[in-house]
């Protein structure tokens, strides 16, 4: 019996990973233009980026999932074939991650001393070189720990996608639990999440240590 539970819940592992990776990747990429808007010299752009970030982070993930999954079909039922469970979940995760990543990037940008920009300008380096050779690499080093923490949180939040029918770990746990009326599937699901987060946290720490080697003060 328990072996079949382990096996049944395991069917969701790949989907959990895919959802987390896709959502995080979209957020990590979209976070860059949002940061650019957030730091724009134009006040209107700055404020729109800020409003986007606050609204996106202010609404709970599960509400975003329902909004994106159910919202469009209300206007046109045909949109249901576009906003499938998977697409809606990836969109919600990408959207929310973009807002969080933009803030993580902003924090790491602020950690870089003014003198770094000045030295680069005084040496005659172009603004592109300053961004890509001097500021960017330092930003990434500072952003890694916070991003890793966020990604691990996202992995656990991916369980919320079960509510709109994404076949990930929690979805299978729910299914098995409802037919067997036992809590064992949730225990199994919890074990899988821990098994996924532990190596991620370990990997993040290794990456951080490697990146910090040169920068440590």
Q: Which stretch binds another protein (CB under 8 A): 27-35, 49-57, 174-182, 209-217?
A: 209-217
Choose which of 113, 205, 206, 210 interacts with another protein (CB under 8 A).
Answer: 113
Q: Is 216 in the site for another protein (CB under 8 A)?
A: yes
Q: Which stretch binds another protein (CB under 8 A): 8-16, 58-66, 125-133, 198-206?
A: 125-133
Choose which of 41, 58, 199, 214 interacts with another protein (CB under 8 A).
Answer: 214
CB of 213 to another protein, least distance (A): 8
* Comparison of 4 and 116: residue with beta carbon closer to another protein: 116
Choose which of 29, 63, 111, 123 interacts with another protein (CB under 8 A).
Answer: 123
* Comparison of 70 and 116: residue with beta carbon closer to another protein: 116
* Binding footprint of another protein, residue count (CB under 8 A): 23
Q: What is the maximal distance between C-alpha atoms in the chain?
A: 70
CB of 191 to another protein, least distance (A): 39
Q: Is 124 in the site for another protein (CB under 8 A)?
A: yes
Q: Is 45 exposed, middle or buried (0-12, 13-18, 19+ CB in 10 A)?
A: middle
**Token match 């690499």: residue?**
137
Q: Is 41 in the site for another protein (CB under 8 A)?
A: no
Choose which of 36, 119, 194, 209 interacts with another protein (CB under 8 A).
Answer: 119
Q: What residue ranges bind another protein (CB under 8 A)?
A: 113, 115-116, 118-126, 129, 133-134, 137-138, 141, 213-217
């Amino acid at each position: 019996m328990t072996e079949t539970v382990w096996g049944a819940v395991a069917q969701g592992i790949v989907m959990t990973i895919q959802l987390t990776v896709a959502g995080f990747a979209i957020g990590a990429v979209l976070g860059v233009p949002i940061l650019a808007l957030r730091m724009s010299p134009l006040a209107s752009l700055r404020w729109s980026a800020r409003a986007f970030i606050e609204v996106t982070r202010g609404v709970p993930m599960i509400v975003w999932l329902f909004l994106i999954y159910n919202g469009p079909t209300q206007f046109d039922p045909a949109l249901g074939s576009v906003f499938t469970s998977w697409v809606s979940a990836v969109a919600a995760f990408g959207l929310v991650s973009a807002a969080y990543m933009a803030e993580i990037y902003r924090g790491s940008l602020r950690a870089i001393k003014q003198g770094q920009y000045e030295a680069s300008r005084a040496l005659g380096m172009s603004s592109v070189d300053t961004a890509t050779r001097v500021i960017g690499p330092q930003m990434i080093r500072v952003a890694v720990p916070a991003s890793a923490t966020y990604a691990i949180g996202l992995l656990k939040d991916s369980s919320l996608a079960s509510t709109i029918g994404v076949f990930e770990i929690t979805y299978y746990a729910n299914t098995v639990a409802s037919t067997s009326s036992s809590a064992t599937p949730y225990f199994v699901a919890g074990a899988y999440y821990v098994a996924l987060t532990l190596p991620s946290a370990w990997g993040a720490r290794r990456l951080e240590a490697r990146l910090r080697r040169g920068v440590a003060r």
